Amino acid sequence: MQPLTLCKFCHGKNIEIEDDHTATRSGSFSNGIVFSAEPHSIGEKVTVEIRAAGGNWSGAIRYGFTNKPPGTIPSDQLPPFAMPNLSSQPGYWAKGLHSRHNEKGNILSYYVTKDREVYSFVNNENISTDKLSPTDIDVSKPVWVLLDVYGTTTSIALRGEASLGQDGAPAEILSRGPEAMEAFKQAATNGTKPIFRTRLMLVGQDRVGKTSLKRSLTGQGYNSGEVSTDGIDTMDACEINIQNATGWKVQEGEEQETSKNTVDDSSSLQDSYTQALALNIAKVLWNKKKRAQEEKVEGSSPVIQQQEDSSHSKEDSKDDVWITSETDSSSDNAGDKQQQAEAEAEQLEDLAKSLDEETFNLVTSQVERLLKDAEDGKTDLLAEKETEQDDSKKIVLSIWDFAGQSVYYTTHQVFLSSRAVYIIVFNLTHELDAPAQTQIRRGDDTVEYAESEFTNLDFMDFWMRSIHAYTAENRSNALDNTMLSPPIFVVGTHRASLSSDPVEQARMVEEKFLRIRQNLLGKPYLPHIIPSFYAVENNIDEGDDEQVTKLRKHVEEVASKEPYMGEHIPLRWLRFQQKVADLVSQGINYMSLDNMSEVASSVGISSEAGLQTMLQFYHDLGIIIYYGGPGASDSSLRNTVILRPQWLVDIFRRVITIKDIDDKWSLLLDAWTKLDEYGILQDQLLDHMWHDVIDQKEVLVGLMEKFDLLCERQTPSELPGADEPSQGVSGERSYYVPSRLRECPDQEDLMAETNASVAFYITFNGFLPDGLFHRILTRAVRWSQEQGGREPRLFFRQARFFLNDEHDALLEMAPARLARIKVMVLSVDIYDAEDQRTDAAKQEQANQEACAKVRHFLDSTLADLRQLCMKRVRYQLVVACPCNRRCVPHGKQACLEDGCLHFLSLEECLSKKVAMCESRRIRTNVFQKWFPSGKPAIPAPLPVKVSTIETIKEEDVPSWVRVAAKLLNSGTENADWLSLAYRLGYKNAKIQKLTEDEPNPALCILLDWFQTSGNTALSVEMLLSYLEQMKRDDVIEVIEKGQDVNKAPPTVFISYNWGIQEDVTNLRDYLERTGFPCWMDIGQMGGGDQLYNKIYEGIHNAKVRRPGLCFICLHVNEDIFWNLHACMWPNRRGEYQLLDP
């Protein structure tokens, strides 16, 4: 429902109307009356957001209705107050909102029924019910909304009826479209509660003082014997109050045991839910009784009917509970009142049936107590409370302490969240540009360290890039907000160890901070960084370090301003959270999606959209781990919900942590040695590691495989090296664990029996963590084994694996600072029976089909990983430039050192005869020989001809773009050009830069979008998708009509398996000879984002929009065919067009 608009010609003299929906009062506390511009329908909610509140005035907004059209009283004659000046007159009714509800962001909603009853709600919780007299409002006549922006309320905005599920809903829910929004709205019908909760993530190197900082922040004191954290410690949660600077105390004892993994105490959630539910029920029943007494109706008293007959079932007793009969058969409205009473009774019956027995009994007893107190005069259920404990300023922090050992970095990516505040911790006594010391092995009494390739400053850069890459951004609606969420604090520890002289100590601290700030310049994560850095000392005998105190206050301030703070969460969802807490307390650490659906149904969440929306939201809060949803391509991830994240960390670390060899059980020494030397984990050793969870072994192995932390190893018929340990028990399963691999001892041996190769690279824009390479490596091993080849040769950052009978492939990760992977397709030696190399092996290079096969695998793997876990990571396929450019470090021409290589885009080399390297021209024929040539796909027409110069030329802009821009410029709030810009991902600083002093901001945004997004058909589809979410059908129609002009002819899109490429090529040639143009990728494109843009255009052109179009899938097995959907883009309605082969 669209929001009402405010009357602009009739309002109080202190009121300013903005954007048709917002009224702001300035000056004194009065003269703030406003009206709706159009009549309001009886029975529909008026929804008002309190946008600003405060000051020294008394009272708050007055709200109500009137039969008098705006303008009946001219603006200059409007009284200063709605109450009593207007409310005392016939045709007006108004009521004041209690000051305790007058909080910024609160949602006031109210409506009037045909029976002249006004129901009022704050955040969907009923606060009052009022009976109007016949002289107040005549509901048979048109009714306008009356509001008085009075007292401490200084600004309000009219919203749609579902405002709490639109403007107040989490961003993740908004992004899922109308279905998710409807599910959220449905869940909120029983009430909502604003939630102030986040995670505080402590990250950094090993032994820099993260755990000690956590103890300092939470007032636990310094512990000199603190043990280094293993994995991630999520045990602590605390509550802070930003209003009076109290809190930061870790929950203890039984309370902590229950709440440590759910943030909120289970019992407090139960109390919150049952109390709110009981109070609402009691109010309804008591109001009905009072109404019956006033109308002198004979009927039963609205008390809860107890179960007297033990033969009745529990459901029978629930049918009878909370039912009253109090209608007046002599009244003119007896029929209507009877229907209303029956409807209310039916609603209460349905609610009773939806509760489990424990909650049912709790609610029943509380309703009985409330009604008895009302009967005895101890409380007035219809009166608003004068005082109530203010929880709105409290924030619950779940503190996550991440282990600093690099071996854990692979698992950390699973738990990084945008709904968190991060603190990167470093040791001030360590030289920032010196090589870092990293832990490589630990025992009970000793820890072994080695010098890292990273400097201490590099490790800080790594964490900042990881947070930026692995978290989806949240953004504020304010144009002046240039910060990215999540925020990152930088904290140095061991300040006192720098110097005993305070002046020298301060100088050394500032020198460290200056070096860090210099390193931040130009980095993509810079907008995440909080400008103020902190130098703390955790080793203090008594009291708090001054810098720790300041850090607490700053964390409170930043956390309170995060865009997700204060989001309204349905009470049903809070009930679900309490259920999860109960399950965890029973030792249940994970559940299937089907079982989770049953839990959700027990609290009233029955729809698939409602379940998915709720699970994804609680995943973001860190209460559960769930990587499912409609877009998930993996069935195991879709169907598994982890209820306790700490448990998953504990399971992971048993496999990936390097133990001291002396601690290993002697009977399994061979298995431990094989794991340490070759990264091969045998099943018997895994049974030993997981002896206490052995009944859950298969699920755990599946989870580790889905996170690419290990992959099953096919049993080889013969081991490639005689010096390797024996296989062990015959037929026993074993696994590769990439994080446990050692460096290759002999590089020449790794490249042995190779006579020619092709090399290209994947660059990652400055960020390639070991964890990402491990995931690529794990998937490459699975893929190679599926080809039927022999056992791969795996080492730290290197792997050689079988491709086909004539080829191997080699992946090699460069030093981390270079952020690239070298890919080699190797033509291998082939020997005959006399042990002589055959002529067939004497190739000049690897053949084209083998190169294309590897490129296609890497592209699909990276696209899947980016979608799954690292949306901000960018990659490109490139080749080393063969020009003679002189390198700066060595002064050599054509220098081949790793750090001196420079590259050309593989896409450009395969599509052009000459590529550019600065001002040098490079012939590309040598690179084009590596991949099959083929007829290029028919390109989709460019949506917009965009000028390459800064000034936009009028002749470059199609008429449909100008019309669309005009419509967007005149749009209402949340449906205008600014809303579209936010949805397209534009930051406030970029919006200001593009639109400053521009008379046509929508046109600037549209043209920049087409230019920066590649100016492809995909650009238009994404634009249409967001416009559909905004319900701008008028703009959609303009764009679609404009795109229909000069549309490319339909094509046949062919998807196929690489193993049958030759047959598919013949099919394509036949179809094209018969007049059907085809799209088929056979290697003419270089990969990366460009490849998937072109695949999209091929699918887009082959969409079944008119007769004669076709989509052909040719695959050698069913599994490959059904996995195809992971590589396809849906249209803006989320529909996949996939036909059976």
Q: What is the pLDDT of residues 630-655, one digit of tens each?
A: 555 556 667 888 898 778 878 888 88
Q: What percent of the chain has pLDDT over 70?
A: 67
CA 45 to chain centre: 32
pLDDT at 619: 78
Name which of 595, 599, 567 is nearest 581 in CA terms: 599
pLDDT tens for 461-484 read 988 988 888 776 545 433 345 678
CB 416 within 8 A of CB 400: no
Hey, what are 1037's tokens? Answer: 């129609």
Is the domain spanning 6-165 CATH 2.60.120.920? The answer is yes
CB 544 within 8 A of CB 158: no
pLDDT tens for 858-883 read 888 887 787 777 777 888 899 999 88
Residue 491 confidence class, pLDDT cut points 50, 70, 90:
very high
Longest CA–CA separation in the chain, Å: 112
| Residues ≥6 apart with Cβ < 8 Å to 366 | 274, 275, 278, 279, 282
Q: How far apart are CA 589 and CA 585, in angstroms?
A: 9
Residue 809 has pLDDT above 80, yes or no: yes
| Residues ≥6 apart with Cβ < 8 Å to 1010 | 943, 944, 946, 1019
Tell me the three state secondary structure of residue 669: helix
pLDDT at 936: 39
Say how many residues make up the chain.
1141
CB 463 within 8 A of CB 424: yes
pLDDT tens for 678-689 read 899 999 999 989
Residue 353 has pLDDT above 50, yes or no: yes
Domain 197-243+393-403+418-438+470-560, CATH: 3.40.50.300
* Residue ranges, CATH 1.10.533, the chain: 954-1044
* Residue ranges, CATH 3.40.50.300, the chain: 197-243+393-403+418-438+470-560
Range ranked top by mean pLDDT from 190-199, 837-846, 931-940: 190-199
Q: How far apart are CA 930 and CA 326, in angstroms?
A: 86
pLDDT at 766: 85
Hey, what are 652's tokens? Answer: 């992971």
Residue 426 has pLDDT above 60, yes or no: yes
pLDDT at 721: 42
More confident residue, 388 or 47: 47
* Signed CA dihedral, 1121, 1122, 1123, 1124: sign only: positive
pLDDT at 889: 80
Q: What value does the mean pLDDT take over residues 1045-1068? A: 63
Q: How far apart are CA 808 and CA 803, in angstroms?
A: 5
**Cis before 486? omega within 30:** yes
Task: Look at 239-253, 896-910, 1124-1138 and tell me which has the smallest mean pLDDT.
Answer: 1124-1138
Q: How far apart are CA 882 and CA 633, in angstroms?
A: 40
Name which of 246, 200, 626 is nearest 422 in CA terms: 200
Task: Look at 34-48, 73-87, 1045-1059 and tell me which has the smallest mean pLDDT.
Answer: 1045-1059
Q: Which architecture does CATH list for 747-880?
A: 2-Layer Sandwich (3.30)
Q: In this structure, how many other beta carbons lie within 10 angstroms of the beta carbon of residue 778?
A: 24
Is the domain spanning 954-1044 CATH 1.10.10? The answer is no
Alpha carbons within 13 angstroms on the beta-carbon side of residue 372 total 7
pLDDT at 1127: 42
* Signed CA dihedral, 763, 769, 774, 779: sign only: negative
Global pTM reads 0.64
Name which of 503, 423, 498, 486 is nearest 460 in CA terms: 423
Hey, what are 1115's tokens? Answer: 């695959």
Q: How far apart are CA 1083 and CA 760, in angstroms?
A: 14
CB 117 within 8 A of CB 130: yes
DSSP 188: G
* Residue ranges, CATH 3.30.310, the chain: 747-880
More confident residue, 1064 or 344: 1064
**Arithmetic mean of pLDDT over the chain:** 75
Q: What value does the mean pLDDT take over residues 232-258? A: 56
In terms of DSSP bridges, do strands 107-112 and 117-122 run parallel, antiparallel, or are they unpaired? antiparallel
Q: How far apart are CA 757 and CA 439, in angstroms?
A: 37
Q: How far apart are CA 1114 and CA 1101, in angstroms?
A: 19
pLDDT at 1040: 76
CB 1114 within 8 A of CB 1055: yes
pLDDT at 326: 41
Q: How far apart are CA 1067 and CA 802, in angstroms?
A: 29
Hey, what are 279's tokens? Answer: 């109070």
CA distances from 749 to 339, 674, 745, 826, 829 (A): 87, 20, 9, 14, 14
Residue 253 confidence class, pLDDT cut points 50, 70, 90:
very low
Residue 1113 has pLDDT above 70, yes or no: no
